[in-house]
Structure 1
Amino acid sequence: MFPEYIIILIGLNHKTAPVEIREKLSFKTSLSHPLEKLKSQIPSFKEAFFLSTCNRVEFCFILERFKKEEFLRDFSSFLEKESSFKWKELKPHLYFLENEEAVKHLFEVACGLDSLVIGEPQILGQVKDAYKDALKYRTSGLVLNRLLHRCFFVAKRVRTETGIGGGAVSISYAAYELAKKILGSLKNKTVLLVGAGEMAELAFMHFISGGANKVLIANRTLSKAVELAEKFKGEAYSLEELPNVLIKADIVISSTGAPSFVITKDMVASILKARRFKPLFIIDIAVPRDVEPEVNKLENVFLYDIDDLKEVVEENLKERQKEAFRAKIIIEEEVLKFQKWLKELDYHPTVRALSEKAERLRQKELSKTLKKLKNLSEEEKEAIEILTKSLVQKMLYFPINFIKKSYHEEGRYAVSLIRQIYNLDETEEDTTEIEESVEKKKILSKKENKKENSKKMIIQ
C-alpha cells in the first residue's frame, strides 16, 4: 500500500468486552449515525466504516500515516464522549489492527469465523447494511469500496468451497432440520406452537419459511395466543383445547414453562385414530419438559427434547470447526490478492499497465486492419505501424502526465481514477466480454445503416 496511507481497524467483541461495555458503544439509541458524528468531529481520516451488532462494535478507517497519532487522540476523545467511559477503561477491551491484519479480520468477520457461532450467515447481511450506511454518509471511497466488495466475494467463496455453513447450530434451527428429515417436505404442513417461549417462536419462524402453510397457537393466556396468531396469520386456542388442536397438527413445538407435563401419552394416544395415524413430530424445548417421554413409544409419533437437539448442534459445531481451517486458507489467499491490488495503485505499475494495455489494443486493431488491406507493400505497412505507435504515444502522454503531476497531491486517488477510466483492473474474461460487446455494436450499427440506406432508396 502507499507508505503515506494505512488501514486501521479498532473494535471490541464478545471475546474482549462484556455486554455492558458493548451496548454503550453500539450507538443504537443515538439520534445521529456515528459516521455522521465522526465526519463532523474528526477531520483526520479519509474513509470510514462502522459495524455494530449484538456481539461486536468495529470501526475501520483509511488515513494518512503521519496523522495516525493525531487521529488516535481525537478518536479516543470521541469514544469517551459517546460512551461515558474513560479511555483507560475502554482501551484494554479494544483491538487495534493495521493493514493486512485489518483486512484479514474483516474477511473473517464477513465469513462468520469471528462470530459467537462459527459460520453463522446473519453477519454478512449486517456487514452489507453497514456498507450501505458508509455509502449513504459518503465515508467509503476507493479502498473501502474495494475492500468491502472483496469481503462479500470472499464470504461467497467460503460458503461455496467449504461446509462451514452446513448443519444446524441453534436449537431452533436443529428442530427445523430434524422435522425436514422425518417429514420430508414441509409444504402444506400444519405447525402447532404450544406456549410462547422465544426459542419456540424462533423455531416456528424457521418452519414457516420452510413452507409450512398453516399456523396454530395454544397458550395458557389466550390474549398472547391471539397476539401471535395475528402476527403469523394463524389460529389461537387455549391449553384446554389442546387435545382437539393436536388432531390438526403435523408438527408441534412446545415451550410453556409449566411445572408438569402439558402433553401426555394418554392425550396423544386418544387422538391417533382421529388423525388416521398420520406422522406427528413433537419438539419439546421446554425445561422442565412439557411432553411425557412415553409419548415417543406411540405409533408414528416422533418426540425430541432439548438434549436430543443439543447433540445435533454440538456435532454440527465440530464439523464447522473443521471447515473453518479450510476457510482460513481461502482468506489468507484473498488477503494476498488484496495487498497486490493496493500495491498496483502505485504510480509506476499503473503507467506500465496503461502502456501495455494500449500496445495490446494497438497490435490487435492493426492486425485486423492489415488483414483487410491485403495489397499493401512492406513500406506502406511500416508507415501504418509508425503512425499507430505515434498516435498511441501521444494519446498516452496526457493521462501519464496527469498521474506524475498529481501523484504527490492526490496520491492513490489520481492513480485510481486512471485505472477506472482505462479498466486496468479488468480480467481476461472482462476484456473478452468488452471486445465482444464492441463487435456486436459494430455489427448492429452496420445493419442499421443498411436499413436506413434501403429506406432512402425506396423513398427515392
Structure 2
Amino acid sequence: MTVRRKLWLIGVSHHSAPVELRERLAFEDEAAGAASRKLLALPGLEECALVSTCNRVELVACADPAKIDARAVGDLLAGERGVPAAELRSYLYVHEDCSAVQHLFRVASSLDSMVVGEPQILGQLKSSYDAAVEAGTAGTILHRMFHKSFSVAKRVRSETGIGGRNVSVSSVAVDLAAQIFESLGEKTALVIGAGKMAELTARHFRSRGIGGLIFANRTFDRAVELARELHGTTVPFDDLARYLPLADVVIGSTAANEVLLTADAVGEALRERSYRPTFLIDLGVPRNFDPRINDLRNVYLYDIDDLRGVIGENRGERQREALRAEEIVRSEVDSFWRWFQNLDVIPTIVGLRGKADGICRRELERTLGSLRQLGDEERKSIEAMAQAIVNKILHEPISRLKRIDDARAQDVQVARRLFGLDDDE
C-alpha cells in the first residue's frame, strides 16, 4: 500500500505576526538544525527544513497527512524559543501541497518580501537549506523543492525587472547621482550628518565607486569613525562653506532646525567651481537646504519628498514586473507538482508493469514448453506478439495513471486494488 505524502509549510511572517514575536522566535542556522532534528521525531514528519529570517520563521516539510499534527509542530517551535504556545498559535498559518510549493517559490523570488524584489532573501533561504542538509533533515523531496525554488528565483531575476529599480531613499539618491554624472569614480561627495540615513547613503555611494567621501558632523568623533570605516576624510562642521566647492554631490541628513546651506552659499561655491554641475540631496526633516537653491544654474536639488516620488514610481514598476514574476512562479509550481504527483504514481506503474510482464513471461514459458517443434524465429515472433499485447493492454491504464491530478489521488489506490498490486505485501 503506497502512502500519500503531503507537502506542508507552517510559520509566521511579517504578514501575520508583529516584529516583537518574530524576533523572539528567530533561529540561528545551528539552532535551526537542532530544532529540525527534534521536529523530525514528531509523528508523521519525514523531511523538514526550518527557514528563519528577520521577517519570517517557517517550517517546510514532507509528511504523512494521516499522522501530522500542526498544533504539535507549532508548540514545539514555540517551546524551542521560550515563546508561550498559546501566544504563537493565533499567528500561525499553514500551506499544504501546491500552496506550500507556491509559497516557497514566491518567498525565494522575493514576491513575499516586505520590499518586493529585494535580493537578500535568496541567500537566506540557501543558508536555511544548507542547515537542514547539515542536520540531515532534508531528503529527496525537499532537496528537489528547494533547488527548484532557487532556479525559479534566478529565472524571475533574469526574465523580469523586479529588482531593477531601487526603492530605498539612499539607493535612489545614488541612482540619481549616477544619471547626472557620467562617472562617480571621478566625483566627491560631502556628507553632512552622521546618523543612520547619512551612513546608509554614504555606504551606497562607496559601493557604487564614488571617488571621494568627505564627512562633516557636529559630533566630530562620529564623523571620524565613519570616515575611517568608509575610507573618507573629515572637515569641521562649522567650516562647510570652505569645503563646499570641492563637492560634486552634497548630502544633508541632520535633525537641525535651521537651514545649513543657503542659496547664497551654494551660489558662491558654484562660482568657485566654474559652474560645474552640483547635485544636492536633502534628507533632513526639517529640510537642511534652502529650497531656493533649485533656482541656481547647474544645480540639481532633491529633497525627501522628491526622492519618495521617485521611489513611488519605482515601486509601481516593480509591482508591474511582479505580475510577470507571478506567472513564472505559477508555471514552475505546475511543473514541480507534476513531478511530485508522479512520486506516488510511479510505484503503481512499475508494479502494474511488473505484474503484467510476470504473467506474460510465465504464460510464454508454459506455452512454448509444449511447442518444442517451433524454430527460433517462430518462438521470437510469439514472444514479440505476447509483449505487444501486454503493451497495448497497459497503454491506456498507464497513460491515465500519469494524468491523475491531486483531486483524484485516490484513483491510484483504486488501481492498486483493481490489479491486486498489494496482495503480496
Report if aligned partners of 1:217, 1:237 keep a CA contact under 8 Å in 2. Answer: yes
Give 1:308 shift: 0.3
Match of 2:37 in 1: 39
Tell me the amino acid that sits aligned with residue 182 of structure 1: I
- Please give the alpha-carbon distance, in whole angstroms, between the structure 2 residues aligned to 1:132 and 1:242: 50
* 1:339 correspondence with 2:337: yes
The one-character-per-residue Cα deviations of 1:368-419 (angstroms, maximum 9, x if unpaired) are xxxxxxxxxxx99xx9xx9xxxxxxxxxxxxxxxxxxxxxxxxxxxxxxxxx
The one-character-per-residue Cα deviations of 1:413-436 (angstroms, maximum 9, x if unpaired) are xxxxxxxxxxxxxxxxxxxxxxxx
Q: Call closer, same or farther: CA 1:3–1:243 in 2, change over 3 Å.
A: farther
Match of 1:82 in 2: 80
* 1:210 correspondence with 2:189: no
Give 1:208 shift: 1.5
- Please give the alpha-carbon distance, in whole angstroms, between the structure 1 residues aligned to 2:206 and 2:15: 34
Report if aligned partners of 1:256, 1:290 keep a CA contact under 8 Å in 2. Answer: yes
- Please give the alpha-carbon distance, in whole angstroms, between the structure 1 residues aligned to 2:78 and 2:114: 27
Match of 2:64 in 1: 64
The one-character-per-residue Cα deviations of 1:145-169 (angstroms, maximum 9, x if unpaired) are 1111111111111122222222221
Query: Could you say what secondary structure the match of 2:7 adopts?
Result: strand
Match of 2:252 in 1: 254
Same amino acid, percent of matched pairs: 44
* Equivalent in 172, 175, 178 of residue 173 of structure 2: 175
Report if aligned partners of 1:49, 1:139 keep a CA contact under 8 Å in 2. Answer: yes
Q: How many residue pairs were aligned?
A: 355
The one-character-per-residue Cα deviations of 1:24-50 (angstroms, maximum 9, x if unpaired) are 11135x9x5122133146513332222
Give 1:259 shift: 1.0
Does 258-267 or 305-314 show the bigger shift? Answer: 258-267
Match of 2:304 in 1: 306
Give the TM-score normalised by the residue count of structure 2. Answer: 0.77
Tell me the amino acid that sits aligned with residue 265 of structure 2: M
* Equivalent in 92, 95, 117 of residue 94 of structure 1: 92
- Please give the alpha-carbon distance, in whole angstroms, between the structure 1 residues aligned to 2:264 and 2:53: 46
- Please give the alpha-carbon distance, in whole angstroms, between the structure 2 residues aligned to 1:295 and 1:235: 26
Match of 1:160 in 2: 158
Match of 2:271 in 1: 273
Give 1:329 shift: 1.4
Report if aligned partners of 2:35, 2:77 keep a CA contact under 8 Å in 1. Answer: no
Tell me the amino acid that sits aligned with residue 54 of structure 1: C
Match of 1:434 in 2: none
Report if aligned partners of 2:9, 2:59 keep a CA contact under 8 Å in 1. Answer: yes
- The within-5 A match list for 1:280-299 is 280-299=278-297
Tell me the amino acid that sits aligned with residue 17 of structure 1: A
- Please give the alpha-carbon distance, in whole angstroms, between the structure 2 residues aligned to 1:250 and 1:349: 71
Report if aligned partners of 2:25, 2:78 keep a CA contact under 8 Å in 1. Answer: no
Report if aligned partners of 2:282, 2:302 keep a CA contact under 8 Å in 1. Answer: yes
- The within-5 A match list for 1:8-407 is 8-27=8-27, 32-40=30-38, 42-44=40-42, 45-69=45-69, 72-346=70-344, 347-348=346-347, 351=350
Q: Call closer, same or farther: CA 1:160–1:92 in 2, change over 3 Å.
A: same
- Please give the alpha-carbon distance, in whole angstroms, between the structure 2 residues aligned to 1:350 and 1:145: 24
Report if aligned partners of 1:262, 1:290 keep a CA contact under 8 Å in 2. Answer: yes
- Please give the alpha-carbon distance, in whole angstroms, between the structure 1 residues aligned to 2:109 and 2:102: 11
- Please give the alpha-carbon distance, in whole angstroms, between the structure 2 residues aligned to 1:255 and 1:106: 39
Give the TM-score normalised by the residue count of structure 1. Answer: 0.72
Report if aligned partners of 2:48, 2:62 keep a CA contact under 8 Å in 1. Answer: yes
Tell me the amino acid that sits aligned with residue 206 of structure 1: H
Match of 2:365 in 1: none
Query: Could you say what secondary structure the match of 2:117 adopts?
Result: coil
Query: Could you say what secondary structure the match of 1:345 adopts?
Result: helix
Tell me the amino acid that sits aligned with residue 108 of structure 1: R
Report if aligned partners of 2:35, 2:80 keep a CA contact under 8 Å in 1. Answer: no
Give 1:246 shift: 1.8
Give 1:230 shift: 1.0
Give 1:201 shift: 1.7
Give 1:233 shift: 1.2
Query: Could you say what secondary structure the match of 1:192 adopts?
Result: strand
Report if aligned partners of 2:46, 2:61 keep a CA contact under 8 Å in 1. Answer: yes
- Structure 2: gaps of 5 or more residues: 355-375, 384-425
- Please give the alpha-carbon distance, in whole angstroms, between the structure 2 residues aligned to 1:263 and 1:249: 13
